[in-house]
Amino acid sequence: MSQWPILPTILPALTAALLVLVGRDDIRLQRVLSVAATLALVAVAVGLYVMARPGEPLAYRLGDWPAPFGIVVVADRLSTTMVLLASIVAFAVLLYAVNGWDARGRHFHALFQFQLLGINGAFLTGDLFNLFVFFEVMLIASYGLMLHGGGARRLKAGFQYVAVNLIGSVVFLFAVGLIYAVTGTLNLADLAVKVPQVAAGDQALLAAGAVLLLGVFVLKAALVPLHWWLPITYAAAPPPAAALFAVLTKVGAYAIVRVFTLVFSGENAPAVAVADSVLVPAALVTLAVGAVGTLASRNLLDLVSFAVVASMGTLLIPLGLFRSEALGGALYYLIHSTLIACALFLLVDLVAERRGRARDRLRPAPMRQRGLGAALFLVAAMGFVGLPPLSGFLGKLLILDATRDAALGATIWSVILATSLVLLAAFARAGSTLFWKHAQNEREPAQALRAAPVACFGGVVALIVGLSVFAGPVTAEMQAVAQQAGDRGLYVRAVLGSAVASRGE
């Protein structure tokens, strides 16, 4: 049994403990340890991705307990792709944060590593209850990161964020309880075998559990009407933390894919009927609400936060179809939207620091190095809105192509195309206010752009350019990932062994 699948959770956990114990008063030591550990995490994620590539999912049984009874960690192609994406985003954000943000409060690096522990754990776990536990780890760390630096507004928004997520956790536990009461197991592979065998009398209970679970996941993924926490939280969070939070919403999307293709799938599952009829319309409304929100925003951070809501809507449209052909394109868009959201949040910080007291408010103000700021904004905005030749365009194209013969096809096309126009208008308006209009009688702020933060932003943009240039191979990879994610028998065999899997077929 290979020990690799557990490494992406062990490494941040040990690093975080080390940071708290050894480096608590020495920011330099913290930076060195944290950057080294995150770089190692990227290496581990690449290794794990390559190992999972040939096809068989790697199942790691903690303590070698047999599968349905012990804790199991599963590295299949979908989860390793997500871990790789999360570790790359984390590395870029961390390199940005060591230029000053991490010193504005205590324990930034420890919280950052705990956040990675939660994210990677949620991607790799093969067990519903551990998914809950890793969600909690992820959220506890995100509360800390969100409050990093303090301030009255952050505290108010933080209270709402924590309260909303605590309610989400309670609903998650109700769902877990219902599913356990009916099936007697929480192991995802075991659930995939046992859910189709549930007696007719218990079907309603099981469906109730599944729908509650869907509710929790769409809360994390910020689907309308459960999206209000996102703009409030992200717009109050420190921008580098918000850049990492770009991965958090994707954990919700991943959980929907994982649970609803593996466990609650098949024609006669009542839960799937609910998910089918609700998810796509709600995603369309989410996209519209996000796009309108960008138009109404009064500062750049609010605008980017609503843009993230819009991108989650776009992402959940193909995911809501629950078809592996649509999933491939959706994964490409997922990678793109995570990277571009990360880039945009970093950009907000870059712009705000150059504008003195105006910060990121959308009003004319003097700015240092206006031209460079405008160029950076142009690239990021083009990438987000989906103008060719960047990957946003290709991602939306793949989604449009996948939804061509769906039931709501015409509506999906019109909403995606119309909101692209709205987003374009919002970003163009924001850009022209920020970079073209000159303010009178205000002193130019002293701070100039430093090279290192711009380089971090540039690195993320380079990844997006790479994603656009190598769109062909990446799309082929993602199709293969989606193919494997749709193969339930493969996952069940890898976790439980072939004997059990054939009994369940």
- Judged by the rule CB under 8 A, the positions of this chain that interact with another protein are 100, 103-106, 129, 133, 136, 140, 143, 147, 149, 151-153, 155-160, 162-163, 166-167, 169-170, 173-174, 176-178, 180-181, 184, 232, 235, 239, 298-299, 301-302, 352-353, 357, 359-361
Token pair, residue 72, equals: 């199991």
Element (H, E) at 74: strand 72-75
What is the DSSP secondary structure assignment for residue 358, as one 8-state letter?
A: G
| Min dist. Cβ of residue 205 to another protein (A) | 10
Q: Is 225 helix (H, G, I), strand (E, B) or coil?
A: coil
Nearer to another protein, 133 or 480 (CB): 133
**Inter-residue contact 85 to 119 (CB < 8 Å):** no
Which residue number, 67 or 382, has a Cβ lying nearer to another protein? 67
The residue (of 11 and 301) whose beta carbon lies closer to another protein is 301
* DSSP-derived pairing of the beta strands 58-61 and 72-75: antiparallel
d(CA 325, CA 318): 9
Shortest distance in whole angstroms from residue 153 CB to another protein: 5
C-beta of 177: minimal distance to another protein in Å? 4
In angstroms, the CA 308 to CA 489 distance is: 35
> Residue 299 in 3-state DSSP?
strand
Residue positions counted in the chain: 505
Q: Which is nearer to another protein, 184 or 388 (CB)?
A: 184
Cβ 349 to another protein, closest distance in Å?
Answer: 8
Dist CA 233 CA 104 (whole Å): 19
Q: How far, in Å, CA of 259 to CA of 276, rounded?
A: 14
CB of 366 to another protein, least distance (A): 15
| Shortest reach from residue 299's CB to another protein, in Å | 4
End-to-end CA distance of the chain: 26
| Contacts with 98 (C-beta within 8 Å, 6 or more apart), sequence order | 31, 34, 35
Radius of gyration of the chain (CA): 22
Q: How far is the CB of 390 from another protein (least distance, A)?
A: 27
- Torsion of the alpha carbons at 367, 373, 375 and 379, rounded to the nearest 10: -140
- Quote the Cα angle for 316-52-119, to 5°: 50
Least CB distance to another protein at residue 242 (A): 11
The amino acid occupying position 156 is: K
Grouping H, G, I as helix, E, B as strand and the rest as coil, residue 389 is coil
CB of 355 to another protein, least distance (A): 10
DSSP three-state, residue 360: coil
